[in-house]
Amino acid sequence: MLLEVLVGFVVGLLVLAGVLVMLGPHLKGTLKRIRSLQRPASVPSVFQNRPHENVPSGLNPKTQRVLVAAARLSNWLRAHGHEELTRELRGAAAKLTSNEPAGLYAMQTALRKLRAIAIEDNPQQRLTALSNELRTAVQDRFEQLELLPFKRP
């Protein structure tokens, strides 16, 4: 038993020596880099207070897709100072979970109001991408429910 432990220890030392030989001339630079790597004092703000896009699991997958797209768009709008439209999108999403056709119509109304927003060029691309994602998800769900998009129930 003692002999096995001794052999294991010697093998470990030989493996460590082999790794050190392979590192060779780069050993000093590698050790400096390892020492310079320090954990940050706090978690980066990117990972803090990130709103989770929770969707009730009992919903249709296409409805969930609409809700996730609406959450992304409303978060972007809120970050860019469009509080009224954000509230309208969140209200439509809340309606969608209880009365799906009414929620889809409310979502479509909010999308129409969204077209009127004029923002500088660079964020305009992100707004267009998010609104197109939501528009596609809403249209897919309308087709699945066989609802006509411009008639009220």
pLDDT digits (tens, 9 = 90+) for 139-150: 888 888 776 554
Structure tokens at 11: 């093998």
In-domain check, residue 39: no
pLDDT digits (tens, 9 = 90+) for 24-37: 777 777 777 777 77
In-domain check, residue 65: yes
In-domain check, residue 19: no
Residue 120 sits in a domain whose CATH number is: 1.20.1440
**Banded pLDDT at 9 (limits 50, 70, 90):** very high
Identity at 73, one-letter amino acid code: L
In-domain check, residue 55: no
In-domain check, residue 152: no
Structural domain including 120 reads: 60-145
Q: Is the pLDDT of residue 136 over 60?
A: yes
Q: What is the mean pLDDT of the chain?
A: 79
| pLDDT given at position 151 | 47
In-domain check, residue 34: no
Give dist(CA 16, CA 104) in Å, integer.
Answer: 64
Rg (CA), the chain: 28
Asked whether 72 and 135 are in contact (CB, 8 A), the reply is no
Task: Give the total number of structural domains in the chain.
Answer: 1
* Cα dihedral 103, 108, 110, 113 in deg (nearest 10): -160
0.85 exceeded by the pTM? no
Please compute the mean of the pLDDT values over residues 128-148 and round it to a whole number: 82
Identity at 3, one-letter amino acid code: L
Q: Where is 98: in which H helix or E strand?
A: helix 83-98
| pLDDT given at position 56 | 55
In-domain check, residue 6: no
Give dist(CA 111, CA 123) in Å, integer.
Answer: 17
| pLDDT given at position 127 | 79
In-domain check, residue 127: yes
